[in-house]
Amino acid sequence: MIQRNNPFFRYGYKFLITIISFCIVTIPCLADSAAPIPAKQIKQLFTITGTQSNPLSLPSDVDVDDEGNIYIVDSGNHRIAVFNRHGKHISYISKQGNKQSEMNNPLGIDVSSNNIYVADKDNHRIQIFNIDGTYKNNILLRQGKEDIRPVDVAVNSKEKLIYISGNNNHKLMLYDFNGKLIRQWGGEGTNRGELRYPATISLYKNLAYIVDVLNSRVQIFDKKGELQAITGAWGVLPGQLFRPKGVALDQKGNIFISDSYLGVIQVFANDTRFRYVLADKTKPYKFKSPSGITIDKHNRLYVCEMLANKVSVFSLEP
């Protein structure tokens, strides 16, 4: 449930004006533009909705292990749902609660080196499980008198670093494997390097790509917290973002960004220039509130369509 202190209430007027602008400007452009938007067709492989007796509820993020097993943050059910590479259900991890191994509104996930890291938002911690779902450890997120609500977690196993985005402190935090805070950066604001409700994190070649939701951009930092580049800017035209939620990179360094309100996934080159929008034939593929996304080593794209209660799987190959 969206609370009244949620940022979407605070910025509702701006949202309404933008939606009107989107309807006036963008929809005709997508339908009958003399200069069509660059697009690349994707092929849908299958969809995961859960099981008949236990459907997914508000899936927010997804990751894949080395065997191709799929781990979905089943946020509305306060658990992780696990499926094999063909979408067949295997198991569930956790249940609602605040005890060890239980979850309360989890949002983000990273599967790394046979460990599962979960951003357990309303329990103010990162929970760590073995690949079989056995509870292992947690990192409590409290700074001074403030409990931090994590949105996502990304792990650099080689350098033993854990990146965590904080919803209420508007920061990107860097921890070691012992749960010690190394450094943090950001802080609420609109300037370069500042963040407003940071969300999904993706790592590529020792750089952290962080979705800066209310600033409608993805910022790219090194591990020292120094800003390297920015992708996207507020707007509704190709190459612009309205409410980005997910980010993932393919093996060539192309940056895929999901936009939860426009319902599209745009692709930017590693130098941050807009390349194309993912398409169904020649028109932009319309997702229903896409949030967390990931790309596996076989060039398959996994998209959490949060309000549709499903995860859609696509091939990015021609």
Taking 50 as the threshold, does the pLDDT of residue 18 lie above it?
no
- pLDDT classification of 281: cutoffs 50, 70, 90: confident
**Residue 82 within any structural domain of the chain:** yes
Q: d(Cα 45, Cα 42) in Å, to the nearest integer?
A: 9
The pLDDT mean for the chain works out to 91
Q: Give the integer Cα–Cα distance in Å for 83 and 316.
A: 20
Spatial strand order in the sheet of 161-166: 150-156, 161-166, 171-176, 181-186
Neighbours of 271 (CB within 10 A): 9
The reply to whether 33 falls in a domain is no
Would residue 79 count as lying in a domain?
Answer: yes
Percent of the chain past pLDDT 70, that is, above it, reads 89
DSSP code at position 76? G
CA 85 to chain centre: 20
What distance in Å separates the CA atoms of residue 71 and residue 87, rounded to the nearest whole number?
A: 10
Q: Is the pLDDT of residue 201 over 90?
A: yes
For the CA atoms of 134, 139, 142, 147, the dihedral, rounded to the nearest 10 degrees, stands at -30
- Within a domain: 208: yes
Residue 249: per-residue pLDDT: 98
Q: What's the pLDDT at 24?
A: 41
> Quick one: pLDDT at residue 196?
98
pLDDT computed for residue 227 by the predictor: 98
Q: Which tens digits make up the pLDDT trace of 236-258? A: 999 999 999 999 999 999 999 99
Say yes or no to pLDDT of 23 above 60: no
Q: What average pLDDT score do residues 260-278 get?
A: 96
- pLDDT score, position 4: 42
Q: Is residue 15 part of a domain?
A: no
Q: Rounded to the nearest 10 degrees, how much is the dihedral formed by the CA atoms of 287, 310, 125, 138?
A: -130
In this structure, is residue 99 part of a structural domain? yes
Domain range for 304 is 39-315
Q: Name the nearest CA neighbour of 186 among 233, 145, 234, 221.
A: 221
pLDDT > 90 fraction of the chain, expressed in percent and rounded: 86
CATH number at residue 243: 2.120.10.30
pLDDT bucket at 27, cuts 50 / 70 / 90? very low
What number is the average pLDDT over the span 142-165? Answer: 96
Encode pLDDT of 84-142 as tens digits.
999 999 999 999 999 999 999 999 999 999 999 999 999 999 999 999 999 999 999 99
Q: Which amino acid is at 298?
A: H
30 domain-assigned: no
Determine the pLDDT at residue 37: 87
Q: How far is CA 129 from CA 64, 112, 135, 197, in A?
A: 15, 11, 4, 26
Within a domain: residue 150?
yes
Count how many domains the chain has: 1
Other Cβ atoms within 10 Å of 76 Cβ, number: 16
Query: Quick check: 70 pLDDT over 80?
Result: yes
Residue 16 has pLDDT above 80, yes or no: no
Element (H, E) at 244: strand 244-249
Chain-centroid distance, C-alpha 244: 9
